[in-house]
Structure 1
């Protein structure tokens, strides 16, 4: 995510060495780099012009204080302007309505609207303890109705049945009546999408909105469409009184232009971003955290929140105990750490939230395929072998390798990595964090 933009902006710092003050002369090249970075990221041209003018006005004459270099001072201004561009703060869902609070989901076909409906239901059920009812008004695609039904069953939330012979408005009003009678807190209405904007689609969703009077009307848009995403958002915003935007597939977009343009062009806040296929992959949008990611500073706050939400605290306590004593850390614990990582969205999601240099270092050495292979090797071991890896000799290694579909060398590599991890655990128990960091430096040369 934002890979190209991050790389271009990191070069800005290098262009401003040896100056004590930011002046028009010395920031010209740096601003050209920022402009090129934004245009390459597919940010809308009017947004780029306004953004560059704002940076220039604020940066000129800014003193470089303390230990800051001019490049760092300019990046500080860029960071603040990025936050302002994307909305300054997180706009949470407004559910302050007589139950059920109605959320209307709008967007084009293929934008991830139905999946996002499921993700939102999961988030409201688990985080806000809401009783949610889902309904599909997409009478043009039977598969969309079945998809939402399947998602509801997976999430263990209620689903109101509908079929292609019904009128969208009749379905929505019947679902609303059912939600009122069964005391649901939230009704989420998934609407029909088209491959492109057409008058019939707009008239239908306008009529649905008038009948339901939803408290939230969320526009779901695929971030990978870049400039097109902004144009589609504008068209929907002209037809519907949108209350917010959900950007999907943000993890698949190395440019990130839609995230920077859509708020500015529509005037509507980005409330959530969708990352990954899993139903846990919906995050509240925080402009300050997103600006940090864009500038390669990482998003450690979101990482901590992911850990708090997904990590098994009882198992974590057991691991801390083992780390403190330096005893008993085995391959079963190693496997548990891999599974916890997967719950947090896998290595790709985790690395995306780490600061740039750390992320790049780790990406060169670890990926999701490698993690899956490690888990496969551990699964091919007996409980005794996991508890006592030292008993794994040549014949056992051959059996484990055959069971996992890997070479004996890969089994050896895993056992060596595990041995290093065990040593680090012992260092942690004897000498605390300093020794542990020294041990890690040995594992990752060049850190």
Structure 2
């Protein structure tokens, strides 16, 4: 899967941009979904190797970790990109559209990978002057919310003092970066509820206990979780996205299954909601003679940006001429949050002037953002390293 192209000793702005477009389009043509990023991993390793960037040895089946800078003493700053695609049939009509049926980079992870690869190329040129190490994490399986955990388990976050990441933002114009301290993206949890009643002939409902009717009451009652239990000054979302029951038109089934998701930016609310939902469904079902049980699937926590690193990020972006905006928090989730549970981190939105939101089959982005974003992250990594060395701690009040 290696992309053709002659390596340069020093990257011009135009040369870097062309290379990153080539890399992004290659990835876009060959998307691989979570846990299947084998060829993507090989391509990234090849590109890094061609650039003389050393690959770090961590036990990851897919995904790549590399390092630039000194191997001994000195701070370590990490830059993270996600590499997996989505199980979506592409409808962009682009000349470099996905060549894999039913799979597409509909969330822009090809853009993220190209940006951090570009930052790596720039940092490699300045490696001898770097006051520390930059660890490059090309992470698998973000869309499953599990990839960050795999990276952490491999030991690739050990020794890291700070971590930076990005997500493209279609509703921000190219040249604008969204940077926000505190909560930026929501926690993501899921649930599966099984309602058990008593089956019957559809013409004799009194002989059974209809789980469809019980499920309908549960769906309605779940809306009160937010409207009557969450403060109007806070926010949460409880959505039932799947309800399955029955096999034919004239039989009342004996069970039904509901699935859905819960999102919030508040950890206290997040901790409270599973118990509230469980008590509610059991009460509603019990009152109607049925039973209900719930399985809870905890996903990534809320992405919460470190205050001091966010200040550093804003300064680095402004120094490069970016328009720095404060975005609204997004109810979407990101497993970058798992890294932030262990080390200070800052996650930013890079404007890409896209025509559609994430996960749309016609999703696309403006590639003019590639080179500037790569420059931003290269400079951000160096700024963090210098700050750490000059102040003794890049997380200090002097940032």
* Normalised-by-shorter TM-score class: under 0.3
Highest Rg: 1 or 2? 1
Give the alignment's TM-score, normalised by structure 2: 0.22
By percentage of residues, which structure has more helix? 1
Give the alignment's TM-score, normalised by structure 1: 0.20
By percentage of residues, which structure has more strand? 2
Which structure is richer in relative contact order (CA contacts within 8 A, separation 6 or more)? Answer: 2
